Amino acid sequence: MDSNISMERETLATEIIYSPYESAQIISISKEEAINIEGVHSVITAEDIPGENNILGQYGKCRLFAEEQVEYRGQILAVILAENSEIAKEAVPFVFVEYKPLPPVSDIEEAVNFNSVHESLKEYESTSEAVNSDKLNYVKTSQTIPDYNLEKVQENVIVEPNNEGGITINKNNFDLVIYESSLNILLSLESDKIFFKPSDDQPSPLPFDLIDLSICGIASLCALISKKKVSVSSCCSKIGAKRVGHGCIELVSTIGYGADGKIGSVKSRMKLDCGSQSGMSGLLWLGFCNVVKQLNHCSIFDLLCDRCKTNEVPNGSNTYDGAWLGLLVLEETFHQIASKSSKTLSEVRSNNLNVDDSIEKLEPIYKEKKESIKEANYSDKSIKKGVNLIYLTTNCGLGSKGEGKNLSGAALTEVELDIRKKSIRLIYSNIIQHVDRSSSKNQQRAFAVASFILGLKKINVFDKGNSEDLIKKRPFTQIFPDELYCRAIPRNDYSLMIPYCLSLSAYFAICEAMGEFDREFSYNDLTHFSTYIDERG
């Protein structure tokens, strides 16, 4: 056994010092007085990191500690390691940080005006059989997606040194691939030195988030340096940086299609608030491109993402939200093409996507429900229903060349809008997706439902007359349908990204129901709408 590793394995507590500024130069960090307090083991800053100060490993860029300059409010400056939490808290005022505040860049508009940008991301493909653009008709979609802040319970993270000169992490309900990559680079440790101790926790159906990863990184760094067991409390992140899924997104797409409804060209321009570093914006962009490029007759893809640099938390999103955006653009496009041509929505969709035969089982149910709600919508002027069937096919690989497998899914959702109760009620949802035949089908179904519900939390209702203006500030959350079905199609792979994105079926069902009213909803009407949940015994 390494004699430097304490046999007592006492657990050290931590207290994190965060920046109060959005932007500032760090003149100095003085920690000597704090270290001299009895019971304080050490005060760790960026200079103590043995590897690279990047918590995202190969998946992006985000500094774990501030270096030379503060980049957003709540950025980590230092971590106090002490014998207990009371001593750690007592030492906080004795870590002295001298700042020179700087003017922050707060949003996309300011970033554009000051040319504050990260490197742009581009995808351009044109086949030899590129269509004649003069022969195409065009539709345009425009979306503004606000900051998406994750709501997630943070649990304690405990890490201890092991006999192999590495660390053992006592928590394993997260994406081990991303966490291992992060710790490889941050700690300059090979994978065989990093162990994830089995626990009774089930793997999380939720996407990874940056705060979780940062807390794990801090605990791992402190354990490696101190050679003692370290616990990072769940409450430590509450006063730090906010949990950002992604920053504000402005997206404009122009799509060309022929007389047969087949899409021949796509031009998309995205402006993304990436924050102070690019974060995981590359994965969000990849998810978007992987969905859009499933159009099977499109010969021109002209896709550009301008990554705006602001003094916000770096982008903590992943392929889930990118695929969600891609599906939003495609479905809005299909709806517009159907309304401008003699094709039905189902015909437009099937003309442009390769849909698995097993996924089309929802078509007859959709047609039946479509007919049934006509009478209901005619009989009551205050209550209107909408139903939507949505398909998704995407590549789940993490490479830009589409090396992964194509996975598919479909969802059918029925909603009811009651103008008197100011409620939006989810009546029926039916999800179909591929599952991995080597794993428990029931468990995968449960995770698929959890991911679908999580996607519902992301949905916001858009003004029918101007899709760029949000008319509902509060997320569409805590909805569980009266009837919920989840069918599984055995394959060799599956992804929780599929049901997450398929939650958009609820958004388009809401849009359909809104269109059934004699008048358009006002801003005030929908701002005060709430979700309606039945009492269940």
Closest by Cα among 147, 151, 109, 250 to 460: 147
Considering the domain architecture, whether residues 463 and 420 belong to the same structural domain is answered as yes
Is residue 155 in some structural domain?
Answer: no
What pLDDT, on the 0 to 100 scale, is given for residue 529? 54
Is residue 377 in some structural domain?
Answer: yes
In the chain, the largest separation of any two C-alpha atoms, in whole Å, equals 81
What pLDDT, on the 0 to 100 scale, is given for residue 151? 60
Closest by Cα among 297, 296, 428 to 365: 428
Burial class (CB in 10 A: 0-12, 13-18, 19+), 153: exposed
Considering the domain architecture, whether residues 322 and 467 belong to the same structural domain is answered as no
Band (pLDDT 50/70/90 cuts) for residue 536 is very low
Q: pLDDT tens across 498-524, in order?
A: 899 999 999 899 888 888 887 665 434
Q: pLDDT tens across 396-454, in order?
A: 765 544 456 778 889 999 998 888 777 788 889 999 887 777 777 777 788 888 888 88
Can you tell me the mean pLDDT for 39-61?
94
Counting residues of the chain whose pLDDT is more than 90, the rounded percentage is 48
What pLDDT, on the 0 to 100 scale, is given for residue 400? 46
Considering the domain architecture, whether residues 370 and 291 belong to the same structural domain is answered as no
Spell out a b/e string for 399-408, using b for 16 or more CB atoms within 10 Å of the CB, else e.
Answer: eeebebebbb
Contact (CB, 8 A) for 152 and 204 = no
213 vs 472, more confident: 213
Q: Is the pLDDT of residue 472 over 50?
A: no
Considering the domain architecture, whether residues 358 and 326 belong to the same structural domain is answered as no
Q: Is the pLDDT of residue 473 over 50?
A: no
What pLDDT, on the 0 to 100 scale, is given for residue 178? 81
Can you tell me the mean pLDDT for 455-469?
51
358 vs 68, more confident: 68
Is residue 156 in some structural domain?
Answer: no
Report the CATH number that the domain containing residue 124 is assigned in CATH.
3.30.365.10
Domain housing 456: 354-531
Q: Is the pLDDT of residue 462 over 60?
A: no
Is residue 18 in some structural domain?
Answer: no
Crossing angle (nearest 10°) for helices 345-352 and 319-340: 130
Q: Is the pLDDT of residue 395 over 50?
A: yes
Can you tell me the mean pLDDT for 309-337?
93
Cα end-to-end span (Å), the chain: 57
Angle (CA) 218-220-221 rounded to 5° is 65
Q: Which two tokens stand for residue 204?
A: 């999380």
State if pTM tops 0.75: yes
Considering the domain architecture, whether residues 273 and 366 belong to the same structural domain is answered as no
What pLDDT, on the 0 to 100 scale, is given for residue 318? 82
Number of Cα atoms under 13 Å in the Cβ half of residue 194: 23
479 vs 439: CA distance, rounded Å: 28
9 vs 487, more confident: 487
Is residue 318 in some structural domain?
Answer: yes
Considering the domain architecture, whether residues 454 and 387 belong to the same structural domain is answered as yes
Considering the domain architecture, whether residues 445 and 328 belong to the same structural domain is answered as no
Considering the domain architecture, whether residues 310 and 420 belong to the same structural domain is answered as no
Distances (CA, A) of 502 to 138, 148, 313, 458, 495: 26, 18, 28, 12, 12
Mean confidence (pLDDT) of the chain: 83
Q: Is the pLDDT of residue 331 over 70?
A: yes
Q: Which of 174-178, 335-339, 361-365 is the least confident region?
A: 174-178
Is residue 33 in some structural domain?
Answer: no
Q: pLDDT tens across 87-145, in order?
A: 999 999 999 999 999 999 999 999 999 999 999 999 988 875 666 667 899 999 998 88
Residue ending a domain, among 265, 300, 333, is: 333
Is residue 259 in some structural domain?
Answer: yes
Q: Which of 65-79, 446-460, 484-498 is the least confident region?
A: 484-498
Considering the domain architecture, whether residues 392 and 450 belong to the same structural domain is answered as yes
Band (pLDDT 50/70/90 cuts) for residue 537 is very low
Considering the domain architecture, whether residues 371 and 471 belong to the same structural domain is answered as yes
Residue ending a domain, among 301, 333, 365, is: 333
The total of structural domains in the chain comes to 2
